[in-house]
Amino acid sequence: MLATLERIEILDESDQLANMILQSDIADEYHRALYKLKHDKVAQKMISKFMTLKDKYEEVQRFGKYHPDYRTVTLETRAFKRDLDQYETIAAFKRAEGNIQSLLDEISVQLGAAVSEQIKVPTGNPYFGSILPPEKKLIRFSFNIRSITLVILSTPLLPFLNSSSFNCDNSFKSS
């Protein structure tokens, strides 16, 4: 029974953290960029065209350089991808997505370090990869960028509850 109450407290804390993230300026920027991207007809047409080109590219890649259209499809796909990445709405969305992912990576690193030095934190970010030893790069917990959900795969978090707290000012403090 006690373990269940502790788990509920941990999940409540993670909900508070998720709410702080959702109320942050970075999350607002992400949601604005996502809204603009979804409602930009030109961007949606470009994405649709790119998906068609991508399907062609994947078909050509099955045969590699021996496919008769290999060179044309490869060049066309790369050129269009470059145009897609330079379109302002799409570029703004990618920047916002990168910013929120960086925030989530930083939080993951702080949570992992607060729990234990043995907690392995996935970041996918070369910056965090350079500050973490190789044995700390496996998944223990992660954030889902689409729903900002904290998934805790490791249960021994009791020292975490006693020695750390989340504050409403969007910061994590360890005592």
pLDDT of residue 168: 36
pLDDT of residue 126: 62
pLDDT of residue 125: 61
pLDDT of residue 115: 84
pLDDT of residue 30: 97
| pLDDT beneath 70, residues of the chain | 1-2, 123-175
Length of the chain: 175
pLDDT of residue 121: 77
pLDDT of residue 118: 80
Please list the alpha-helical segments (H only) found in 64-173: 70-86, 88-115, 126-131, 158-163
**Sign of the four-CA dihedral 106, 107, 110, 115:** negative
Closest to 43 measured CA to CA, from 94, 95, 84, 96:
84
The CA-based dihedral angle spanning residues 105, 123, 99, 36, taken in that order and rounded to the nearest 10 degrees? -120
H or E, element range at 13? helix 2-22
For the chain, domains (ranges, CATH) are 7-174 (1.20.1500.10)
Question: Residue 172 — φ and ψ, nearest 5°?
Answer: -110, 125
- Beta-bridge partners for 143: 150
